[in-house]
Amino acid sequence: MGTPPSSEGQRANRATEEIEQVPGRVQTDPLTEAEGLDLVGILSAIDETAYVWDMITDKIDWESNAEDILGVPNQAQIATGSSFQLLISAEHLARRAEAFDVNAAADTARGVAYRIQYRFMPVGRRSDTSIWLEDHGRWWPGPDGKPARARGVLRVINDRYWEEQRLLYRSDHDELTGQLNRIRLTEALTGVLDRTKRTGQPCAFLMAAVNNLAVVNETFGFDVGDEVISAAARKIKERLRGGDVLGRYSSNKFGIILHDCGPGAMRIAAERFMKGVRDHTIATSACHLTATLSVGGVILPDQADSVQNALNYALHALDRAKSKRFDCFMTYEPFGAAETTRRRSISVADDVIAALDNQRMRLVLQPMIGAKTNKPEIYECLLRMERPDGSIVSAGEFIPIAEQLGLSRLIDRRTLELSVAILKRNDDITLSLNVSGLTCTDHEWLVTLQRLTGGRKDLTSRLIIEITETAAIQDLDQSINFVDTLKELGCRVAIDDFGAGYTSFKNLKLLNVDMVKIDGAFVKNMADDTSDQIFIKTMIELANTFGLETVAEWVGDERSVELLKKAGITYLQGFYYGLPIEVDQIGKAA
């Protein structure tokens, strides 16, 4: 990258390479010993300096013009690799680290060539003063294969290079706000984390979000929303210290890296950013608007020792801030209940995926007893997960979390496969199968049902699909299409947990279901609660009016059985009739 060096620069570079290629020379040799050349004068004339870096001791020997070329107060500030590293812009630290990658094929004679560009802050990262450097040379490995010494030349990039830098800038920065884009923000965060681990100096990472942006977009349009985002970024940028980093993480979220910052300073900085946005009106193309920020923060590396954790924890703190009120700052709390929940969710997700991959999902069957026959007429499929040690986990322990994490589609497809396999092995059994709200919009699940049954009505007619009441009314039109397709395939459809939500019997008529399963919360105490008795009796009468069968869940005692039969229930289901049975007991139970 960059323009070709002048002829003088080429001669200087060749002279430097000649010095580098002498295996017997040690890095403490003066670089000015090349015969017949005033190397320092040549390098200075083209804004270049040279160095020898002992990477074992970390000492760097510089040409005498380094102080003038780089603009550092004195060479003591760049006397070691570590101190020089502290003056490189955070978003470019990774570039330099990659230049000395131990995995590179090493030529012990000529060394490993490198050429990189980065932004350099000669008077410290808190200053706005910076220059762009091109750093090129070679490094040689030690006996252990790791970089042991390097010789190189630093060139201050001249004006002819800025067109290329402008193109690089566009690849590094967000087009709307002019701040670092998400990729470069993440790279800067990586460099800062590495630095904090070496120096022990804490830093802070903030995640700030512009509040109520959805309302602005809906009211005035997305162009005005973009103007608000851009203005908020400018206000935050104006209140950054020199060397701190701002990047756009997503639509309305900004990541902010604060160097040398503890918990107290982090809170002060967050308040400064929030006040800067809150106290100024934003002149948009539509009208003058105001905006507020919610901010979450985490201390590095004490609270987060990886980039992913830093991002996740800052987002978690931001969510807490947004839940409190507008214009609020919250710090990450690592040992709260939310963290315990998060870790449990991760563990459950891992267990579910492993169980699906290793065929460790299984079904047990709970009978629905005919109120008139007192015999099992339908079996509900209840999912169980088998752990590697053979222990069994009930669905209630993992299904709610799996649904939140979007795993329910995978679970429902596996449950369908297991259910159809049971139907094929048992010609005289009818099964009832629960599906999640996501599956009601999953065309592939219906395709899987058609594929597994081959369109055989002798199979689908013995399959009842249960949809929860809340899922059915969430998108009524979609649910109607789902139910209609199931019935065309030959299945019956039931509404599960009826009474727990807000479904009217009018909606049941629109859905064209065949059965309602009364929520067990109304059944379990009905023997002692007259209001539950009245409620259940009313639901059964209305269901009968619409020609629907009814199921009472959670039946637990003989008194409830008598009341339900008297009210006209069709099926009874619960522990009163025993625990769920294994699949291989179907014939015996039937």
pLDDT at residue 342, rounded to an integer: 73
Domain made up of 174-334: CATH architecture: 2-Layer Sandwich (3.30)
Give the Å distances, CA to CA, from 20 to 27, 136, 148, 171: 9, 12, 14, 34
Measured CA to CA, the distance from residue 187 to residue 185 in angstroms comes to 5
Residues 440-467, mean pLDDT to the nearest whole number: 93
Measured CA to CA, the distance from residue 204 to residue 289 in angstroms comes to 30
pLDDT at 381 over 70: yes
Within 10 Å of residue 158's Cβ, how many Cβ atoms?
13
Residue tagged 């015996």 (tokens): 588
Residue tagged 């919009």 (tokens): 441
Measured CA to CA, the distance from residue 299 to residue 334 in angstroms comes to 11
Q: Find the DSSP H helices in 394-547.
A: 399-404, 408-425, 443-453, 457-460, 469-474, 476-489, 505-511, 530-545
pLDDT band at 1 (very low <50, low <70, confident <90, very high): very low
The residues that bridge with 581 in the sheet, in sequence order, are 365
Measured CA to CA, the distance from residue 225 to residue 219 in angstroms comes to 9
pLDDT band at 319 (very low <50, low <70, confident <90, very high): very high
User: What's domain 344-589's superfamily in CATH?
Assistant: EAL domain (3.20.20.450)
Indicate the angle between helix axes 263-278 and 222-238, nearest 10 degrees: 130
Measured CA to CA, the distance from residue 437 to residue 445 in angstroms comes to 12
The pLDDT tens digits of the residues spanning 258-281 come to 999 999 999 999 999 999 999 999
Burial 163-179 (b: 16+ CB within 10 A, else e): eebeeeeeebbbeebeb
Measured CA to CA, the distance from residue 388 to residue 542 in angstroms comes to 47
- pTM, 2 dp: 0.53
The residues that bridge with 381 in the sheet, in sequence order, are 365
Return all residues near 403 (Cβ < 8 A) that are at least 6 apart: 436, 437, 438
Is residue 390 helix, strand or coil? coil
Are residues 88 and 119 in contact, defined by beta-carbon separation less than 8 angstroms? Answer: yes
pLDDT at residue 546, rounded to an integer: 86
Give the Å distances, CA to CA, from 400 to 209, 392, 396, 404: 29, 17, 7, 6
Give the Å distances, CA to CA, from 430 to 362, 368, 566: 18, 10, 25
Measured CA to CA, the distance from residue 250 to residue 179 in angstroms comes to 12
pLDDT at 19 over 50: no
Measured CA to CA, the distance from residue 53 to residue 142 in angstroms comes to 13
Helix (H) or strand (E) holding 375: none
Nearest CA among 113, 118, 117 for reference residue 150: 113
DSSP-assigned letter for residue 522: G
The amino acid at 555: V
The per-residue pLDDT of the chain, averaged, comes to: 85
pLDDT at residue 37, rounded to an integer: 62
pLDDT at residue 361, rounded to an integer: 94
Are residues 384 and 392 in contact, defined by beta-carbon separation less than 8 angstroms? Answer: yes
pLDDT at residue 9, rounded to an integer: 40
Is residue 132 helix, strand or coil? strand
Q: Which residue has the higher pLDDT, 30 or 267?
A: 267
pLDDT at residue 167, rounded to an integer: 64
What is the fold, at CATH topology level, of the domain defined by 7-168? Answer: Beta-Lactamase (3.30.450)
pLDDT at residue 22, rounded to an integer: 39
pLDDT band at 510 (very low <50, low <70, confident <90, very high): confident
Measured CA to CA, the distance from residue 86 to residue 318 in angstroms comes to 30
pLDDT at 379 over 70: yes
Quote the Cα angle for 540-542-547, to 5°.
Answer: 90
Measured CA to CA, the distance from residue 134 to residue 532 in angstroms comes to 80
How many Cα atoms within 13 Å fall on the side-chain side of residue 118? Answer: 28
Indicate the angle between helix axes 443-453 and 476-489, nearest 10 degrees: 10
Domain boundaries, the chain: 7-168, 174-334, 344-589
Tokens at residue 142, please?
């030690």
Residues 428-443, mean pLDDT to the nearest whole number: 90
pLDDT at 220 over 50: yes
Residues 489-516, mean pLDDT to the nearest whole number: 78
Are residues 454 and 448 in contact, defined by beta-carbon separation less than 8 angstroms? Answer: no
Quote the Cα angle for 543-547-549, to 5°.
Answer: 65
Measured CA to CA, the distance from residue 133 to residue 121 in angstroms comes to 10
Of the listed ranges 59-73, 165-179, 400-414, the one predicted with least confidence: 165-179
pLDDT at residue 31, rounded to an integer: 43
Residues 552-579, mean pLDDT to the nearest whole number: 93
Residues 220-239, mean pLDDT to the nearest whole number: 93
Judged by phi (left if over 0) then psi (alpha if -120 to 50, else beta), residue 178 lies in: left
The number of residues making up the chain comes to 590
* Strand segments (E) across 173-261: 203-210, 245-250, 253-258
